Amino acid sequence: MPEVRTRRVYEKPQPGDGKRVLVDRLWPRGLAKDAAHVDEWLKEVAPSDELRKWYGHDPAKFAEFRRRYGDELREQERAEALRHLRELAATGTVTLLTATKDLDHSQAADLAERLKKEKASLVQERGGDPACWLPRVCPRCGTMAETDPPATCPRCHTEIPAAGA
């Protein structure tokens, strides 16, 4: 079953890592790109420099960091990068890579938790839905609209075409 994992980018790849995605804004110090075993560098999903500097990897600030980071993830560029991560996670195992020493208090851990929660809620929301509800599903992010027929996706605001269109 596909998973969302986290790992330090300095660690060797493990069997089952799936797609390895670096989620840091800056390239890790002292690591050659060919030795990194990174499939994709998605720096657009990383926290802003201002937030990163404010946080300073202080575990006491992690709850507030997560709140502020959540706000940043709603910005267009980061939202699109997060949507891409969702798509990767929907198709197979993804390992989010970061250079930080404290993996449990990193943006990679926060992103992994967000993706896992979304995946779990999608399974609960959609499991066993009748096929006739398919026109309610957003073609871009997979969210199911509450109204029938829907006009736009409640999550990403993409226009949902009318059935048979």
Q: What is the mean pLDDT of each run of 10 residues along the chain (165 residues)?
A: 88 93 95 92 96 96 96 95 93 95 96 84 49 74 73 80 66
| Tokens describing residue 49 | 């420099």
Provide the pLDDT for residue 140.
77
Would you state the pLDDT for residue 134?
72
CA 121, CA 115: separation in Å to the nearest integer? 10
What is the reported pLDDT for 126?
47
Token code pair at residue 165: 């269109």
Tokens of 44: 């657009």
Of the CA atoms within 13 Å of residue 120, those in its CB half-sphere come to 7
Q: Directed axis angle between helix 107-126 and helix 62-72, to 10°?
A: 60
Chain-centroid distance, C-alpha 126: 20
